[in-house]
Amino acid sequence: MYAQICPQHPDEFVQAVVVNDDGLLSYTCDRAGHVTAGDFVWSGVAESNATESISGLAAELSLDTALPAAIAQYPGKWIEYGVVEAAYAQANPEDFAHLIQEHGHRAIKPSKYTISKYLASILGILGRNGAIAFHTGPATGRWNYLGKVSWWSSDSTLEWTPENQVSVAGAGLDASYVPGSKD
């Protein structure tokens, strides 16, 4: 299982609760003494053993810069995971096609370990490194079966308000950017 230290209690290890199939995790520290009264809740992304750091194919494709660059296309916004994926795919079509060959995509056929899970795990590493900011939010459009997904921003101080959010449904995204998509 996954565990992280509470950002406000350096000696408190908190076990993750799995939020959805794509490896989204939630952590709740219920100890007293947080800056804001009550429990402190934060999120993370489960990593496969293959992606504990930016190495291998992720390093070869420079995902540590290409994914933040995709997110930076939306300055001053929180963007839903599916919007990050589409922005990355449109900016890096050959690399995206290569990743699909490696991992598959649900828009082509159901698969347990998809490119989406893979990219979300890389985003999780970048989020923990502080390169990008992370928030849990609703899954929309063709991702809504997941319930909740990760949302990302270039700006860690950005408020989580509806006017700052770009969802898959709000952006009108379909799966046409996925090579071989049947949608």
Binding region for Zn ion (CB under 5 A) out of 5-13, 68-76, 77-85, 103-111: 5-13
Q: How many residues does this entry show for the chain?
A: 183
Does the protein bind Zn ion through residue 148 (CB under 5 A)? no
- Contact mark string toward Zn ion, 39..68, x via CB under 5 A: -x----------------------------
- Contact mark string toward Zn ion, 67..106, x via CB under 5 A: ----------------------------------------
Residue with Cβ nearer Zn ion (9 or 98)? 9
Identify the CA nearest to 153 among candidates 178, 116, 171, 126.
126
> Applying CB under 5 A, which of residues 18, 31, 160, 180 lies at the interface with Zn ion?
31
In angstroms, the CA 140 to CA 161 distance is 16
Does the protein bind Zn ion through residue 8 (CB under 5 A)? yes
Measured CA to CA in angstroms, residue 157 lies from 21, 78, 83 at distances of: 28, 11, 20
Residue ranges of alpha helices (H) inside 17-161 are: 56-60, 63-71, 81-91, 93-103, 115-128
